[in-house]
Amino acid sequence: MGQVSRRVAVGLVSLLALGASGYVYVTKDQLQSTVPTTDALTPRAGEPAPPPADDGAEDILLVGSDARTDAQGNALPARVLRQLRTEANDGAVNTDTMILLRVPKNGGKPSAVSIPRDTWTAIPGRGEAKINSAYGIAKAHFAQALRGQGERDQAKIERDSDTEGRRVLVQAVQDLTQVRIDHYAEINLLGFYLLTEALGGVKVCLNHATEDKDSGANFRRGQQTVSGGEALSFVRQRKNLPRGDLDRIVRQQAFLSSALHQLLSAGTLTSPGTLNDLMDAVHRSLTLDPGLDLLQFAQQARGIASGELTFATIPVITANGRSQDGQSIVQIDLTAVREFVAGLAGRPAPAAAQAPGQSPAGGSSGDSAAVPTAVTGGGAGSGAAPAAAPLLRDSPGVPCVN
């Protein structure tokens, strides 16, 4: 897994860019008709019903996948994979970035809640496993079934099996949080690369110089601009960080915060070339549920980017847990997670969220959960840093992190 790219779900960024310009009013119908959609939110006959729709917020699941295909199911050429600083694989897909965007219906502040990729939780039809495997396992099983039925169109197999993977991922997130996912937006590996290139790079800031051969990270201390393969290395690094995956999540949140700030800065959205590049990236790499209106979401995202959005991570007991079969996992207290997520919409957790107990790997309701990490409005990310040098001060809109 060390070579698999981990990236922030910047579908929100691309939609914001389109929504922040009048240009979108001209191109909205054209854009909406060319973006691939997926029916990932409708349960099949015989499956458990999703949580109640009235959970106090509009909930959008933003997902970053490491698929080596474009949104139409076509395999990426080796040349592109080299630019992405990654490699071809056996078709396995993981969703190593999952952000639940909660927009309270009572006018409260919206929150972007990260779910660590190694969170040990119940996966529909599989039992307990890491949540980032939900998509990939379901996709692989469905693809195998399609081939067994005689399907030979590889692009169609990719598209249809992706839909099945998304369905199972949505169910896993709903089971974990006890909130209904109202909308789904997914960006793939290619999309992250294209979007950062279209923006001319994104400013980031590190408290300390760092290097990691597995991710390709090699960054100096202080503020710098990253794009393309460098940006992927920035958001996927976890080795040599004080808290591993949890600090990587803070990196992803800081990156998204900086990108949102940059998009709203003077001059960024006045270039037709930049907007055309962003639209091309959206077409090639973004997948939405059919009910997600791009213009409406873009306008909503523009309001979110005014500084009111809070980035957070679900409470965890430890990021260094072990499952019963020896896997390295993020151990959680299920009740604490559900209470935390419900509280972001100003409501108590539903009665069904009071889990009576869990396996040792998943934690029990009697354990105390850690305080969630957060990046708020451009503030510095949390996490202990080495004592060799003081933490850097933030530049406007550019959080300094480990």
pLDDT, one tens digit per residue, over 291-300 is 887 766 766 6
Per-residue confidence (pLDDT) for residue 197, from 0 to 100: 82
pLDDT-derived band at 209, boundaries 50, 70, 90: very high
Higher pLDDT, 319 or 19: 319
Per-residue confidence (pLDDT) for residue 270, from 0 to 100: 63
Q: Which span out of 77-91, 216-230, 299-313 was modeled with the highest average pLDDT?
A: 216-230
- Please state whether the predicted TM-score (pTM) of the whole model is above 0.95: no
pLDDT-derived band at 9, boundaries 50, 70, 90: very low
pLDDT-derived band at 317, boundaries 50, 70, 90: very high
Residue with tokens 């976890």: 238
Distance CA 399, CA 384 (A): 15
Packing angle of the helix pair 228-236, 189-198 (nearest 10 deg): 120
pLDDT, one tens digit per residue, over 38-72 is 889 988 888 888 999 889 999 999 888 776 766 66
Does residue 220 surpass a pLDDT of 90? Answer: yes
pLDDT, one tens digit per residue, over 131-164 is 999 998 999 999 999 999 999 998 899 889 989 9
Per-residue confidence (pLDDT) for residue 95, from 0 to 100: 74
Per-residue confidence (pLDDT) for residue 89, from 0 to 100: 55
Q: Which residues pair with 127 in a beta bridge?
A: 123
3-class SS string, the chain: CCCCCCCCCCHHHHHHHHHCCCHHHHHHHHHHHHCCECCCCCCCCCCCCCCCCCCCEEEEEEEECCCCECCCCCECCHHHHHHCCCCCCCCCCCCCEEEEEEEECCCCCCEEEECCCCEEEEECCCEEEECCHHHHHHHHHHHHHHHHCCCCCHHHHHHHHHHHHHHHHHHHHHHHHCCCCCEEEEECHHHHHHHHHHCCCEEEEECCCEEECCCCEEECCEEEEECHHHHHHHHHCCCCCCCCHHHHHHHHHHHHHHHHHHHCCCCCCCCHHHHHHHHHHHHHHEEECCCCCHHHHHHHHHHHCCCCCEEEECCCCEEEEECCCCCEEEECCHHHHHHHHHHCCCCCCCHHHCCCCCCCCCCCCCCCCCCCCEEECCCCCCCCCCCCCCCCCCECCECEEC
Does residue 190 surpass a pLDDT of 80? Answer: no
Q: How many residues does the chain have?
A: 402
Give the mean pLDDT of the chain.
76
CB 361 within 8 A of CB 130: no
Per-residue confidence (pLDDT) for residue 257, from 0 to 100: 78
Packing angle of the helix pair 11-19, 245-263 (nearest 10 deg): 10
Q: Which span out of 166-175, 235-244, 364-373 was modeled with the highest average pLDDT?
A: 166-175
Position 228: which residue type? G
